[in-house]
Chains A and B, each alone.
Chain A
Amino acid sequence: MSGKTLSTGQVENVHKQPRSGVILSITAWVVGLMFVSPVLWMILTSFHSEPDAATNPPSFGAPLTLEGYRSFFESGPWPSLINSVMASVVSTLLVLVLAFPAAYALSIRPVRKWSDVLFFLLSTKFLPIVAGLLPIYLFAKKVGMLDNIWLLIVFYTVMNLPIAIWMLRSFLAEVPSEMLEAAEVDGAGLILTLRKVVAPVVMPGLASAALICFIFSWNELLFARVLTGTVSQTAPVYLTGFVTSQGLFLAKVCAASLVVSLPVLVAGFAAQDKLVQGLSMGAVR
């Protein structure tokens, strides 16, 4: 991202107006803290005992305990967590395997009317997926795929495929054609060309696409809820069934929500710049 290197103009500006600069910096900190505070509260509550978590006024300094995490993990979340890992990781890999050749055929060796194909792929993202809920459910029921994690894997793959193709295409389009021609003249085969010329340019794109596909399939709730049952339910579905319990449950819910969000938090923090590219389907670098 070009933004990392701030131009001298901005730096000078800070020196020119020190007082308003300080106020703006403090405002930025306050706003950032406001946005993150619900998460901080969730983390703190998850380490409180249930009675301490449900007090009014809040007991910020209550003793810390792992009780919430213990009761979450004792409630049997592992099958759903493993299902979620399966669904998001396998579908992300499938997306990359399918999207790379497709993006290649839309940029480096473009088919005729490649822009129409791109347009079609994008238009599928504008079709609300909820309109396909019933047919997909009935189809799954008919072929006996309900409550089967592979149905979700296929669905998530297709759901994310257009985004990944768009992104990868925008990266592949940056491979200089002179270099491809030079490689051809030098007699480099397809594999060698892919490895030496294409891969360096497209690797960041693959990473962004993988990140965003992983997040979207990890987060998905509606289809997972309708298409899975007790065997193949994913972590978000497991979370929705969590609150029906009677009595105090706040610490447990906060612990559960954090555990389920952890993979996305880790991946997102580790690749903040990739997040922007992914979210804008490669339009913003």
Chain B
Amino acid sequence: MTTTPTKGAGVATKKPARLARSGDWARRMPLLPALILVFFVTQLPFVFTIGASFMNWNAYYPDERGFGGIANYKTVLTDPSARKAIWVTVLLTAAVVLISLFLGLLIALLLDRKFFGQGIVRTMMITPFLIVPVAAALLWKHALYNPEYGLFNGLLTKIFGEDAPQPDWISDHPMWSIIFAIVWQWTPFMMLILLAGLQSRPMDVVEAARIDGASPWQIFTNMTLPHLRPYMELSGLLGTIYVVQNFDHVFTITGGGLGTANLPYYIYQTFYTGQDYGLASAAGVVVVILTIFVATVALRTVFSIFREEQR
């Protein structure tokens, strides 16, 4: 991270002044294709979504299409299933991110030592993240959670014999079933970033502290944790962005049933099955507002990390 505006200006002044104007455009040209594409595919549709959210628009009743005011927003904020979806999104995201961040930190600390088979253990840890999310959700639903032949109940039978309890994991704990399936995939993500953070610690300073008589716990709380803070924030926030949008696990494991429909699933269902374009759009705007809330914090953090690296 060495690029600063001053450096850019330094290069620019080398050019003759009469070329400055055309130089501006020569500089912009390489950027334009990407920028235009991003604008048209990510920004324009959203403007459309905002417009549609104020419309009475159900594809099943094309004749009734028209301006609907804030009716859709009223529905999103009062309809029990929509409110539930907002709550589920918050709960799911918070639970997954906090649990996988905590586990990721513990495992990163375990792996940040030299021991026999370090590389193998690290590779084993990464594996869950490299399973395609739908495939992972299918694996958990059918091969692990299934009450009759899933591995969990199979192991219970193996250990405790015929009288072993055989819970129906998904029906009894639908939210936790989804949460743990996602945690299994995201803990490696958190672990990877935190491990990179741990390994970038200035070890000479830690060594000096140890010689001065600091206990391992003192070193951890006073040196390791503060050093890890930006890495924890980065992994937590990136994790949040991805988990807020989770669709695959909810869709596969419960099909949105048993009170587990989150906002992405609710939008998918309202739009795809219910064909209520207006309501789906209003729900989309709500998701965006929710994430902007997180994003304002997130952007600031990410920028501070990049800035720190510049020094």
**Contact of A123 with B264 in the complex, beta carbons under 8 Å:** no
Number of A-B contacts (CB under 8 A): 350
Q: Are A9 and B203 in contact (CB under 8 A)?
A: yes
* A28-B115, A123-B299, A280-B193 as given contacts; A269 in contact with B134, CB under 8 Å: no
The CA of A127 and the CA of B114, in the complex, are separated in Å by 41
A268-279: contact bitstring with B at CB < 8 Å (1 yes, 0 no)?
A: 110010011001
Secondary structure dominating the interface of A: helix
The verdict on A65 contacting chain B, using a C-beta distance below 8 Å, is no
**A residues near B142, Cβ cutoff 8 Å:** 243, 249-250, 253
In the complex, B58 has a CB within 8 A of chain A: no
Which 9 A-B residue pairings sit nearest by Cβ, starting from the closest? A3-B199, A101-B30, A257-B135, A135-B45, A131-B284, A126-B295, A7-B203, A32-B121, A25-B115
B: residues with CB less than 8 A from A are 1-3, 5, 7-8, 10-11, 14, 24, 26-31, 33-35, 37-38, 41-46, 48-49, 52, 107, 110-118, 120-136, 138-140, 142-144, 148-149, 151, 153-155, 157-158, 184, 187-189, 192-193, 195-200, 203-204, 206-207, 210, 231, 234-235, 238, 241, 244-245, 247-248, 251-252, 263-264, 267-268, 271-272, 277, 280-281, 284-285, 287-288, 291-292, 294-295, 298-299, 302-303, 305-306, 309
Known: A127-B288, A221-B247, A240-B251. A56 touches B148 (CB 8 A): yes
Cβ of A13 < 8 Å from any Cβ of B? yes
Bitwise, A28-64 to B at CB < 8 A (1) or not (0) is: 1101110110110110010000000111111000000
22 A-B pairs with C-beta separation under 8 A: A2-B199, A7-B204, A24-B113, A28-B110, A31-B125, A39-B139, A45-B143, A56-B157, A101-B33, A109-B8, A110-B5, A114-B5, A119-B299, A124-B38, A132-B49, A134-B52, A173-B1, A222-B247, A222-B268, A261-B130, A272-B126, A280-B193
Interface centre among B44, B247, B281 (most CB of A within 10 A): B247
Find chain B residues with CB under 8 A from A239 CB.
132, 134-135, 138
